Amino acid sequence: MPQMAPIGWLSLFIIFSITFMIFNMMNYYLFIPNMPKSILINKKQQMNSLNWKW
């Protein structure tokens, strides 16, 4: 489509860039990493060790 005006290509590029950035930001901020269970176990052991046993 070489007859298309340059402003049309510019608007298509801007729309594509904005949707691409929004898609990437959503994927980045909505991803919740799973913590390994060993870290949780270690934290529980540390908390238990702080309790005084009279």
Give tens-digit pLDDT for 7-27.
Answer: 788 899 999 999 999 999 999
Which residue type does 11 have?
S
Q: 27-47 pLDDT, tens per residue?
A: 999 878 776 666 656 555 555
The predicted structure's pLDDT at residue 6: 75
State how far the Cα of 19 lies from the Cα of 22, in Å rounded to an integer.
5
pTM over 0.85: no
Q: How many residues appear in the chain?
A: 54
Which pair of structure tokens corresponds to residue 37?
Answer: 């269970």
Q: How much is the pLDDT for 9?
A: 85
Is residue 48 over pLDDT 60? no
- For the chain, the domains span 6-49
